Amino acid sequence: MKMFESVISSTWSIVTSGISLIIGVLSWFIVFLYVIFIMLDYERLSKSFHRMVPPAYRKTVFRIGNDIQRSMNHYFRGQALISFCVGVLFCVGFLIIGMPLAVILGMFIGLLNMVPYLQLISLVPTTLLCLVCSVDSGIDFWVIFWECMAVYCIVQCIQDLFLTPKIMGKAMGLNPAIILLSLSVWGSLLGFLGLIIALPLTTLLLAYYDEYLTVVSHRDEKHDKPDKKPAT
């Protein structure tokens, strides 16, 4: 009886896990289809969205939308360049220490770097490759593992101290302190989504803040300036 219950329990767990896997695959497939259909009808949807905005608010809404689009374009271009440089650095570092699949692993880490600090997920496949390399070559696992950690630390220092301030600071017009602060704040508030939108959103907020202060200061100067009476 107990054997029968254990067989039913294990069978049921396998069935439920298989159903969950199928549902997950179908969900990603549906999202992929939605993205394709949206890309095919993007022009028509964009025009429809323009007509949905009330005429009184169109100028403001479109200006904010154009600013967001421009900031996101600058951000993704800068982040793509940083990710490519990080991937190349990881490839070189892994090749130096004799890591298997060094180029594939390095470019994979660079791709993950499109979201700041997401490359930490790559520690799992890196550890597995260190284990495979240790078994295949006979080298101590911990020697290879700590060499890989040294590559991670060196590349991360180069990225944080040189690549991100130079490339992203030039693209977004932010200094390194603001970049690190915005990533920390928005990342803690919104998670990975916050890390993606941190720099564009910070740039927009600072731009509109400066614009608002400029408008208010000019208005106050005009208000405080005494009226000049014409000479008689």
Look at residue 134 and tell me if it is in a domain.
yes
Residues of the chain by 3-state class (helix, strand, coil), percent to 5: 90, 0, 10
Mean pLDDT of the chain: 76
Give 87-135 pLDDT, tens digit per residue. 999 999 999 988 888 889 899 998 888 877 778 888 888 888 888 888 8
pLDDT given at position 92: 93
Look at residue 185 and tell me if it is in a domain.
no
Contact 200, 75 (CB under 8 A): yes
pLDDT given at position 151: 92
Q: Which residue has the tokens 């302190």?
A: 177
pTM of the complete model: 0.63
Domain of residue 81: give its range: 74-174
Look at residue 122 and tell me if it is in a domain.
yes
Look at residue 7 and tell me if it is in a domain.
no
Look at residue 152 and tell me if it is in a domain.
yes
Give 6-56 pLDDT, tens digit per residue. 666 667 777 777 777 788 777 777 877 777 776 776 677 667 767 777 777
Give the C-alpha separation, 160 to 191, whole Å: 19
Look at residue 183 and tell me if it is in a domain.
no
Give the DSSP per-residue string, 42-105.
Answer: HHHHHHHHHHHS-GGGHHHHHHHHHHHHHHHHHHHHHHHHHHHHHHHHHHHHHHHHT-TTHHHH
Give 204-223 pLDDT, tens digit per residue. 777 667 666 665 555 555 55
Domain count, the chain: 1
Look at residue 142 and tell me if it is in a domain.
yes
